[in-house]
């Protein structure tokens, strides 16, 4: 064996001996991935079958690529894809700057008590389920809600926010911003906390103002985390919160509110087209894969680590 050095086997063995502790450390997590993800991933093959849950995979009819050709020929599918991308793009636009700004504001506070209080408060909405968030928004902004009540009392015409297709996307973003901004600050705050105070000190001594300290110290320090988050979010670009849309879809109709996840849900659980739904799931994954690949490449070009190394 040791003679077949071109295979690099002896070298590998040496590495294994060197890394044995690290390899053992990996085992529990890898077993988990193998069993609960790769074990279940066998289910992805139903994308190539006319899968009937009660018949199982063996009892279902194999249809090859039929699910995919149906999917790609369905204008409603493309419509849902478009809606999802639209919303995801809006979320990308708002859900990084807002929490980041909030985190910086919090980070700049000098009174620890105030800081902790505000932090704890803004993180609360993350724990509410969508059913309640939607109900709260309706209570505030609905046609019979607080805002319109105030407007009516002052003789101003009603503004239709809820149930108005044109307002739907801003509404959805407002809901996400309200619910998740505080939660998303956590990771930024942790990153900000890790910045060496001495950098600020040095910058300040060089006469750098607030703006230049932000640009030259703060942002470079949290850039790796930011890049990581953006890349991972891009991988999920075809995912827009199922429940949020499912709950509000009736109000504005599928034209603006049908996202890929609701589309797939209706196909699978109301239409019994599980194979078709799985095909859509695979499509989603492939798109995510391509985007992560591309985004990672861009990150490398910009001198960032990205999610995985070059």
Partner 1 sequence: MDRRSLLKMVGAGALATTGVPMLSACGQGGDGGAGVANEGKNLVPWPTYVPFQGPTPDGAPDATGVQALYKKYPQKLVQAVTDKVGDGSKIKAMLITYGTPPKPAADNQFWTAINKALNVELELVMTPEADFVKKLTTVMASGDLPDIIMFGAGYQVADEQQFIAAQCQDLSEFIAGDNVKNYPALANIPPYSWKGMGRISGKLYGVPIERPMPGQQLFVNRTLLDSVGAPRNWDQDSYFAAMKALKGDKRWSIGASAASVAGGFANYHAYCFGAPNMWKVEGGKFTHTFSTPEYKQALEFMRKMYEAGLYYPDSTTVSQNDLKTHFYNQTVASMTDGYGAWQAASDTVGDKWAVDLALPYGKSATPWQGSGRFGYVVFKKAPADRIKLLLRVLNWLASPFGTKEYELANYGVEGVHFTRGAEGAIVKTELGKVENPTNVPIKYIAAAPGVLYYPGGGTLAQRVYDYEKVALGKSIADPSNGLRSETYSTKWQQLNKVMGDAHAAIVFGRRPLSDWDTEVKSFIANGGDKMAEEFAKEYAAANS
Partner 2 sequence: MRPKWMGEPRLVTKIAKALALIVVVSLVIFPFWSIVATSLASPEEVIANGGWVVWPEHPTLRIYEALFQEGVVTRALWVSLGVTVFGTALSLACTIFLAYALSRPQIIGGRPILLLVLFTFLFPPGMIPSYLVVTTVGIHDQYSALILPFVVNVFNLVVMRGFFQGLPGELLEAARMDGAGEWRILTRVVLPLSKSVVAVVGLFYGVAYWNRWFEALIYLNDSQKWPIGTVLRQYVNAGSGGEAGGEGGVFAPQSMQMAVVVIATIPIVIVYPFLQRYFVRGVLTGAVKA
**Interface with partner 1 in residues 48-107 (CB under 8 A):** 52-61
Site pattern 88..107 for partner 2 (x: CB under 8 A):
--------------x--x--
How many residues form the binding site for partner 2 (CB under 8 A)? 89
Q: 256: Cβ–Cβ under 8 A, 6 or more apart, which residues?
A: 83, 165, 168, 169
Q: Which is nearer to partner 1, 138 or 236 (CB)?
A: 138
End-to-end CA distance of the chain: 32
> Of 9, 140, 150, 152, which one interacts with partner 2 (CB under 8 A)?
140
What are the structure tokens assigned to 70, written together?
């149906």
b/e 259-289 (16+ beta carbons within 10 angstroms → b): bbbbbbbbbbeeeebbbbbbbbbbbbeebbe
Q: Which is nearer to partner 1, 192 or 299 (CB)?
A: 299
Q: How far is the CB of 34 from partner 1 (least distance, A)?
A: 8
> Of 7, 9, 25, 55, which one interacts with partner 2 (CB under 8 A)?
25
Q: How far is the CB of 133 from partner 1 (least distance, A)?
A: 12
Identify the bridge partners of residue 50 per DSSP, sorted by sequence position.
Answer: 61
> Of 163, 213, 226, 239, which one interacts with partner 1 (CB under 8 A)?
163
**Interface with partner 1 in residues 30-49 (CB under 8 A):** 38-46
Q: 189: Cβ–Cβ under 8 A, 6 or more apart, which residues?
A: 103, 106, 107, 119
Site pattern 211..250 for partner 1 (x: CB under 8 A):
-------------------------------------x-x
Q: Which is nearer to partner 1, 33 or 215 (CB)?
A: 33
Q: How far is the CB of 62 from partner 2 (least distance, A)?
A: 17
Q: How far is the CB of 268 from partner 2 (least distance, A)?
A: 8
Q: Which is nearer to partner 2, 218 or 256 (CB)?
A: 218
Binds 118: which of partner 2, partner 1, none (CB < 5-8 Å by kind): partner 2
- Work out the angle between the directed axes of helices 242-252 and 130-141 (0-180°, nearest 10): 40
- 40 in contact with partner 2 (CB under 8 A): yes
Cα–Cα dist 102/44, whole Å:
40
**Interface with partner 1 in residues 245-304 (CB under 8 A):** 248, 250-255, 266-274, 289, 293, 296
């Amino acid at each position: 064996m040791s003679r077949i050095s071109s295979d690099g086997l002896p070298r590998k063995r040496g590495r294994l001996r060197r890394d044995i502790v690290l390899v053992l450390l990996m085992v529990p997590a890898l077993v988990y991935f193998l069993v609960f993800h790769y074990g279940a991933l066998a289910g992805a093959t139903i994308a190539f079958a006319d899968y009937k849950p009660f018949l199982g995979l063996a009892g279902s009819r194999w249809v090859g690529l039929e699910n995919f050709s149906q999917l790609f020929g369905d204008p409603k599918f493309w419509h849902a894809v478009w809606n999802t991308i639209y919303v995801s793009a809006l979320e990308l636009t708002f859900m990084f700057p807002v929490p980041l700004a909030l985190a910086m504001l919090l980070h700049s506070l000098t009174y620890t008590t105030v800081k902790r209080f505000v932090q704890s408060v803004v993180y609360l909405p993350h724990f509410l389920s969508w059913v309640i968030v939607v109900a709260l928004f309706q209570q505030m902004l609905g046609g019979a809600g607080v805002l319109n009540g105030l407007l009516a009392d002052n003789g101003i015409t009603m503004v239709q926010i809820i149930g108005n297709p044109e307002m739907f996307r801003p509404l959805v973003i407002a809901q996400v911003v309200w619910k998740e901004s505080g939660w998303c600050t956590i990771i930024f705050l942790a990153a900000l906390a890790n910045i060496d105070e001495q950098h600020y000190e040095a910058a300040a001594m060089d006469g750098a103002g607030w703006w230049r300290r932000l640009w030259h110290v703060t942002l470079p320090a949290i850039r790796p985390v930011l890049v990581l988050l953006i890349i991972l979010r891009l991988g999920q670009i075809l995912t827009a919160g199922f429940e949020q849309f499912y709950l509000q879809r009736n109000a504005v109709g599928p034209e603006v509110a049908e996202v890929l996840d609701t589309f797939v849900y209706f196909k699978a659980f109301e239409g019994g087209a599980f194979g078709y739904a799985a095909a859509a799931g695979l499509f989603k994954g492939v798109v995510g894969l391509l985007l992560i690949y591309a985004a990672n490449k861009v990150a490398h070009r910009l001198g960032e680590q990205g999610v995985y190394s070059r």
